[in-house]
Every structure is written in structure tokens, then in C-alpha cells.
């Protein structure tokens, strides 16, 4: 018997609007989509198209103007421990050690102090930071801070993990290390991941599904299912991923594929 899988996200005719000076502004056009349990979806689109807005709706941080988001059939009405969020800014408490930052996320469960510390240490070990548990964020590199954020989120056992350009502030080398780390942890925990990135290559290296959004007000315009085994490489010629990359770049920068007579 296989266990019933949880973490199914249904985005059901969702529309998000914000108040603007001249009335309501649509930040997300009507969007309908399902994230299947345990899948890894990368979301890519031009700046301001509504990627963060879509994430914030799934996280329960913004209220839909129309439609809804459901997690395993239940309408999302606010933040919950089932949905973890990781931002580009590390969002760690500077006055807490790495261990205390991870423990903070566990407070809601009413564990004993011993259980809380054990679970937080285990989470830090999973991201390779057991030796740095007592350091403060300012003593850690950018990559290490993001590892603490990942440990804090996975320690809670979320069904869904939303990552908003999580590695955007890291150098290229550190990013590659973080990709391996994230894929390892995701395989173990099997949360449903939605990963926003500006970087087409990052999307192609990581995801099972790449969703491309249109210019603002955004909606999902193209879906690429990726079945290539990981670890993936984009360097080989004749690689199908390279063709997909060209297509996505064409969607994101339509002008660059045509000579512009005004320039
Ligand atoms: N809290 C808010 N209040 C008003 N407008 C917002 C708010 N959040 C986002 N927007 C607007 O919604 C649009 C989509 O923003 P966002 O989701 O942040 O885009 P992205 O993450 O794709 O760059 C933008 O025009 C942005 O200015
Ligand atoms: Mg954003």
C-alpha cells in the first residue's frame, strides 16, 4: 500500500488585486493550475509579473480578489505550518544563534526542550551546519544563512515549500552547492516545491515542471514538463534542455529575437 500523498495545491481561478492610486491594480491575472504532491515546479517570468504575489497567495499572506487556493482540498485563508516560505533575504533573527533560529520554527509544536533541541540539531546536520549551531547569522556566509533558513523550514515538516528567488544573492559556485543540497533534502522530505527564479538555467537544472509567466499582469503562459534525470548539465550540445532554454528566453525577451527598427 502506498501512503496517500499530501501537499496538493490547487490554484483555482485565482485573481489578486492591490489598491492603486487610480483604483485596483491586477497583480495576478486569472490563474488556474495544480501542483501535484511532491513535485518541483520552477516559476519564471519578467520582473513585476506577479510571481511573488502568487507565492504570497499560496502562503496565505494575501487575500484573493477572486478564486482561491486549496491545499489538499482545504481553502487557504492564512499562513500555516503546512506551507513553508524561504525568501531571498535570509529572514533569520540576528539575535538568535543558528540553533535558536531553527528552534524558533518548532515552538508551535509544544515539544519538550530536549526534543526541540534534538530536532533542530538534526535539521542543521541535514544542511551540513552541525558544527555551526552556536554561531549568529552575522558570523555565517550568505550560503550558510540560507542553509539555516532551509533547515528551519524543513524542521517544521511543511507539505509545501515556497522559495522566492532563494539563491539570487549567492555567488555562482555557492548556488551550485545549494542546488545539490536542496535537491537532496527535497528528495528526502518530498514536499511540493514552488521555486521562483530569474535564472532559466536554474529552473532547467532543478525542476520537474517549468512554468513561464507573461508580462504584468501575469498569468501562466507555458508549461514545460522536464523528465531528464538529475544531476543535469546544460553544456552538452544536442541537449533538449538547451532548446527549451532558447524557447523560454524568447518568451521572456520577445524583442531580442527581432531587429528593432527604432534603435
Ligand atoms: N502589497 C502590494 N501593494 C500594491 N501593489 C503590489 C503589492 N505587491 C505587489 N504589488 C504589485 O503587483 C505586481 C506584481 O508584483 P510581484 O508579485 O512582486 O512581481 P514579481 O515577483 O514577479 O517581480 C507589481 O506591479 C507590484 O508592484
Ligand atoms: Mg518577486
Q: Among 43, 45, 50, name the best residue to mutate to test ligand 1's pocket (greatest count of ligand atoms within 8 A of Cβ).
A: 50
- Tell me the C-alpha distance between 83 and 159, whole Å: 6
- Looking up cell 507565492 gives 55
Please state the atom number of ligand 1 nearest to the C-alpha of residue 28.
14
pTM of the model: 0.93
Ligand nearest to the CA of 51: 1
Residue nearest to atom 5 of ligand 1 (CA): 18
Residue nearest to atom 26 of ligand 1 (CA): 48
- pLDDT tens, the chain, 263 aa long: 455 589 999 999 999 999 999 999 999 999 999 999 999 999 999 999 999 999 999 999 999 999 999 999 999 999 999 999 998 887 899 999 999 999 999 999 999 999 999 999 999 999 999 999 999 999 999 999 999 999 999 999 999 999 999 999 999 999 999 999 999 999 999 999 999 999 999 999 999 999 999 999 899 999 999 999 999 988 876 789 999 999 999 999 876 544 444 43
Cβ–ligand 1 distance for 18 under 6 Å, the answer yes
For each of the domains in the chain, give its residue range(s) and CATH number, in order of start: 1-82+159-253 (3.40.50.300), 91-157 (no CATH)
Amino acid at each position: 500500500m502506498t501512503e496517500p500523498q499530501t501537499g496538493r495545491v490547487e490554484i483555482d481561478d485565482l485573481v489578486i488585486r492591490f489598491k492603486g492610486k487610480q483604483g485596483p491594480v491586477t497583480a495576478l491575472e486569472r490563474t488556474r493550475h495544480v501542483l501535484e504532491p511532491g513535485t518541483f515546479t520552477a516559476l519564471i517570468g519578467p520582473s513585476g509579473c506577479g510571481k511573488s504575489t502568487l507565492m504570497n497567495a499560496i502562503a496565505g499572506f494575501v487575500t484573493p480578489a477572486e478564486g482561491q487556493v486549496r491545499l489538499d482540498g482545504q481553502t487557504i485563508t492564512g499562513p500555516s505550518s503546512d506551507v513553508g516560505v524561504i525568501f531571498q533575504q535570509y529572514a533569520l533573527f540576528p539575535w538568535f544563534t543558528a540553533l535558536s533560529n531553527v528552534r524558533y520554527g518548532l515552538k508551535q509544536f509544544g515539544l519538550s526542550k530536549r526534543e526541540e533541541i534534538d530536532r533542530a540539531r538534526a535539521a542543521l546536520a541535514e544542511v551540513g551546519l552541525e558544527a555551526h549551531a552556536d554561531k549568529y547569522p552575522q558570523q555565517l556566509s550568505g550560503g550558510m544563512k540560507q542553509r539555516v533558513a532551509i533547515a528551519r523550514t524543513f524542521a517544521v515538516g511543511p507539505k509545501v515549500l515556497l522559495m522566492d528567488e532563494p539563491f539570487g544573492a549567492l555567488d555562482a559556485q555557492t548556488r551550485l552547492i545549494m542546488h545539490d543540497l536542496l535537491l537532496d533534502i527535497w528528495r528526502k522530505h518530498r514536499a511540493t516545491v514552488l521555486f521562483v527564479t530569474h535564472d532559466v538555467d536554474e529552473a532547467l537544472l532543478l525542476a520537474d515542471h517549468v512554468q513561464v509567466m507573461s508580462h504584468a499582469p501575469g498569468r501562466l503562459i507555458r508549461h514545460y514538463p522536464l523528465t531528464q534525470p538529475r544531476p543535469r548539465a546544460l553544456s552538452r550540445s544536442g541537449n533538449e534542455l538547451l532548446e527549451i532554454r532558447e524557447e523560454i528566453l524568447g518568451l521572456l525577451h520577445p524583442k531580442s529575437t527581432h531587429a528593432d527598427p527604432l534603435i
